[in-house]
Structure 1
Amino acid sequence: MTRRHQQIAEELRLAIADGTYPVGSELPSESELALAHGVSRGTLRQAFGTLQSEGLIGSRQGARRTVLSTTPSQSFAELRSFAQWARAGGRTPGGLVLGSRHAKATETEAAQLHLTSGDAVLHVLRIRTLDGEPALLERTVYAGWVAAAVERLPDDCESVTQSLYDEAGVVMSHGEHHLDAVAAGTTDARELAVRRGAPLLRVRRTTTTPDGRPVETSDDRYKPESVVFTVRNSVQANPLVRTAPD
């Protein structure tokens, strides 16, 4: 059941997306919105907190919330699937497996998945969409122990993360991400509807269970302007690490 603050967050999210509150504008005051929605300020602040976590609004002490972006961002402070992120932003996610094959793990894949070189793995090429438009091409390598569960999922499975949990009890708890830019190759260009050589945001990620057992490692390539990633840091906590290119 959707809670009231989630409903309010969704209404404000849609109002931001359709230009009712453009970037740089201020939202109505807490008292005005609380009265309009018939809720307490505490409930309203929960809704504001959701929108702030998505990078849509910002706040300063003594000032009204300001619209910062019309595109919900994905924060690296939490681990959410593509489908979960999309739905939180009022978007409709989709997915389709374009191809899959069994293979023997390369040395690199074995190291990432804590396997021995030559162990069985499953390669899956999957296109992800937002509101019916291509947004992301995933090249995922699954460890052999989870391969059968992955293959049982329908090709148009909306959320692999949720389905693996529901069907096989697999919990994806931790993720390591490496971001860089790459030029679109032939397959990227065809599936993402961009020109060959166009810049893409690449996120290489490895996801593990709560006890640290790797489930998958993936090379994800995002179409320009399809998503914004956000890293929030401070002098007390800095989740962002600069490394030399591989």
Structure 2
Amino acid sequence: MTRRHQQITEALRHAIADGRYPVGGALPSESELAALYDVSRGTVRHAIGTLLDAGLIGSRQGARHVVMSTAPSQSFSELRSFAQWARAGGHVPGGLVLDSARGAADGEEAALLRLAPGDPVLRVRRLRTLDGDPVLLERTVYAGWVADAVERLPADCESVTTALRDSTGLVFAHGEHHLDAVAAGTVDAKELGVRRGSPLLRVRRTTTSGEGRPVETSDDRYRPGAVVFTVRNSTRANPLARTTAD
């Protein structure tokens, strides 16, 4: 049975998505929401916390929560797989391998994975969905030492990260991400259901194990409006660095 706070979270999520609570506008107070849904303020706070974690609303001291976005948000404050992030935000993730092939690492792949050029790698192209809609096209290159384990996974594996941890004990512990925008090519447009040339958010990431051994490097392209990434920093800690485009 769905818990009451989850029902309230979904009701508020739909209200934000259909414009009843527009971006920049404030949600009703906790007291008003508690009365509206006939629940305690503690239940409302639980629902509000889920929306905060998803990046849909913001919080200010002494003020009502403000709607920040209609798209779910993924934070860089912790390393989570696409499926783990989606489930935490109340969404249904999906995945399907479009093609997979072994090959030899080129110079860039070898440098990122700390291999010698020509060493074996596994290249996988995977389409990710969120609540049934295509949102992400991944082009992932795995180091050869993990290729067998990746190939044994089903084509519709929901979370490669979780499946590899459960089957081999491999933990994806560290990640480096580079964000930019690119125009959708023919393949991107077809798989993501957008027009060729549409702007896509690209995240180039390299992930390593707890021992610092590179596992994968990937070029991930998100459909416009599908996901918002959040970076929270301060004068004391700044995880975000600016670089010029390659």
**TM-score (norm. length: structure 2):** 0.87
Distance 1:111 1:7, change over 3 A: farther
Number of the residue aligned with 1:182? 182
Q: How do 1:80-99 residues align onto structure 2 when only pairs under 5 Å count?
A: 80-99=80-99
Partner SS state of residue 28, structure 1: coil
Distance 1:52 1:156, change over 3 A: same
Does residue 228 of the first structure (1) align with residue 201 of the second (2)? no
Distance 1:151 1:19, change over 3 A: same
Please give the alpha-carbon distance, in whole angstroms, between the structure 1 residues aligned to 2:74 and 2:217. 19
Please give the alpha-carbon distance, in whole angstroms, between the structure 2 residues aligned to 1:216 and 1:77. 20
Please give the alpha-carbon distance, in whole angstroms, between the structure 2 residues aligned to 1:64 and 1:51. 14
Q: Give 1:204 deviation, angstroms.
A: 0.5
Please give the alpha-carbon distance, in whole angstroms, between the structure 2 residues aligned to 1:119 and 1:107. 10
Please give the alpha-carbon distance, in whole angstroms, between the structure 2 residues aligned to 1:214 and 1:161. 14
Distance 1:79 1:37, change over 3 A: farther
Residue pair 2:92, 2:132 contacting (<8 A) in 1 also = yes
Number of the residue aligned with 2:213? 213
Structure 1 unmatched ranges of 5 or more: none
Q: Which amino acid aligns with 2:177?
A: H
Residue pair 1:13, 1:90 contacting (<8 A) in 2 also = no
Number of the residue aligned with 1:198? 198
Please give the alpha-carbon distance, in whole angstroms, between the structure 1 residues aligned to 2:240 and 2:53. 17
Number of the residue aligned with 1:152? 152
Partner SS state of residue 172, structure 2: coil
Structure 2 unmatched ranges of 5 or more: none
Q: Give 1:151 deviation, angstroms.
A: 0.5
Please give the alpha-carbon distance, in whole angstroms, between the structure 2 residues aligned to 1:179 and 1:102. 27
Partner SS state of residue 84, structure 1: helix
Distance 1:200 1:120, change over 3 A: same
Does residue 112 of the first structure (1) align with residue 112 of the second (2)? yes
Q: Give 1:127 deviation, angstroms.
A: 1.1
Worse overlay, 5-14 or 76-85 = 5-14
Number of the residue aligned with 2:142? 142
Q: Which amino acid aligns with 2:238?
A: N
Distance 1:133 1:6, change over 3 A: closer
Number of the residue aligned with 2:167? 167
> What is the root-mean-square deviation of aligned Cα atoms in Å?
2.5
Q: Give 1:7 deviation, angstroms.
A: 6.5
Please give the alpha-carbon distance, in whole angstroms, between the structure 2 residues aligned to 1:7 and 1:173. 33
Please give the alpha-carbon distance, in whole angstroms, between the structure 1 residues aligned to 2:198 and 2:81. 26
Please give the alpha-carbon distance, in whole angstroms, between the structure 2 residues aligned to 1:196 and 1:18. 27
Partner SS state of residue 142, structure 2: strand
Distance 1:187 1:49, change over 3 A: same
Q: Which amino acid aligns with 2:52?
A: Q
Task: Among all aligned residue pairs of Structure 1 and Structure 2, give the percentage whose two residues are the same amino acid.
Answer: 72
Q: Which amino acid aligns with 1:194?
A: V
Q: Give 1:6 deviation, angstroms.
A: 6.2
Residue pair 1:13, 1:89 contacting (<8 A) in 2 also = no
Q: Give 1:129 deviation, angstroms.
A: 1.6
Cα-to-partner distance string for 1:86-144 (whole Å, 9 max, x where unaligned) = 22333322111111111111121111112222211100011112222221111100011
Distance 1:62 1:197, change over 3 A: closer
Number of matched pairs: 245
Please give the alpha-carbon distance, in whole angstroms, between the structure 2 residues aligned to 1:189 and 1:44. 40
